[in-house]
Amino acid sequence: MIRWFVAAAVIATPLPAMAQPGAAGFATRLQRVEDQLAIERILVDYAAFLDGRDYARYADLFTPDGEWVSDGGGGYKGRAAIRGMLESMLGPTGAPNRSNYHIITNPRVDLAGDRATATSRFLFVMRGPDGRPTPALAGIYHDELVRQSGVWKIKRRVADNIMPTSAEWRKIMPSAKTDK
């Protein structure tokens, strides 16, 4: 929808106005908006693919040498290792998921050409003993992103667990391995 409005604005702009010095500024601003939206989409897709147990699409959000790091010290480098982490913690690809989901909020993206940084908050919600949603883990993602072949990818993601801390989380979820 946004692209439609932008296209309509460009079409409605007289050609002499587009040839003026401001046209380059408009193109730059438009590129920044598109980059911002593409990166925010990655943040949303990250949670959707994770919760949908679509590990291939999840891992593809990262560069081939991308890195997922826990503030507790563990990390996984490369798409295969990242995918393996998910399978060891959450079960096989495509497994039905009626037990948890992620909420991603407060995205902040800072662009610098073909590189960007982003922060977002996350809330991991699990099914409680009575079937009700129960907040289980909250924190901040710190991302480094790069544009490769015109597509934004996560180069490095650091999950900064705030409540509970990483040490407390390992006691709650002993199967959550963070040392690979």
Query: What is the residue extent of each domain of the chain?
Result: 2-172
Q: What is the DSSP letter of 14?
A: -
pLDDT for 150: 95
pLDDT for 4: 54
Topology of domain 2-172 in CATH is: Nuclear Transport Factor 2; Chain: A, (3.10.450)
Give the type of residue at 176. A
pLDDT for 2: 60
pLDDT for 91: 85
Q: Are 136 and 116 in contact (CB under 8 A)?
A: no
The position carrying tokens 């009575």 is: 130
Q: What percent of the chain clears pLDDT 90, i.e. is strictly above it? A: 67
Q: Is the pTM of this model over 0.85?
A: no
pLDDT grade, residue 175 (50/70/90)? low
- How far apart CA 79 and CA 77 sit, in angstroms, is 7
Q: Model confidence over 3-43: pLDDT tens digits?
A: 554 454 544 545 444 445 577 789 899 999 999 999 999 99
Q: What is the DSSP letter of 130?
A: T
pLDDT for 173: 67
Q: Which of 70-79, 114-123, 128-137 has the lowest mean pLDDT?
A: 70-79
